[in-house]
Amino acid sequence: MKILIAVDGSKPALHAVKQCIKLMSLMTAAPHSVTLVSVHDDAGLRHAQKYVGHGVVADYLRELSEKDLKPAQKLLDTAGLKHNMDIRTGHVAQEIVACSKAGKFDLLILGAKGRSALVDMLLGSVAQRVLAMSTTPVLLVK
């Protein structure tokens, strides 16, 4: 089974990683793979690229992603699960779904932050957008 876990450095994202570890411990028959994906939206920084350059912005976003991935990597390493990483920039939900499709993953796991329904209705959420767009099965973890 190929599993993709979306990670943003939040507690719900770490709960998603922990849930994946539990799930993997129950599945022993076939080889499995885990990939962590971190996506940062670069839309707000496009204006800054004119002044500091594309490379500086790309480096900054990569550093943010690496920081977000470290706790998840540590959990997987402690559990003895090998994993890959994918760092992307762009619209977060679209990039998660695109990564899932491109990698032909069997399951997509992500943490749900649990905001109120009113806040989600006004702002939307990455989890809701991923659920709406994904053709890969999605496991939301609180």
pTM: 0.87
pLDDT tens digits for the chain (142 residues)?
Answer: 899 999 998 899 999 999 999 998 887 767 789 999 999 987 777 667 667 777 787 888 899 999 999 999 999 999 999 999 999 999 999 999 999 999 999 999 999 875 545 444 444 588 889 999 999 999 999 8
Name residues whose C-beta falls within 8 Å of residue 139's C-beta, 6 or more positions apart in sequence: 16, 19, 107, 108, 109, 110
* Cβ count near 29 (within 10 Å): 6
Position 100 scores a pLDDT of: 97
Name residues whose C-beta falls within 8 Å of residue 42's C-beta, 6 or more positions apart in sequence: 57, 61, 89, 90
- In sequence order, which ranges of 27-139 are alpha helices (DSSP H)? 46-52, 54-78, 92-102, 117-123, 126-133
Domain boundaries, position 18: 2-141
Strands 138-141 and 83-89: unpaired
Number of domains in the chain: 1
Position 118 scores a pLDDT of: 47
Which domain CATH number covers 36? 3.40.50.620
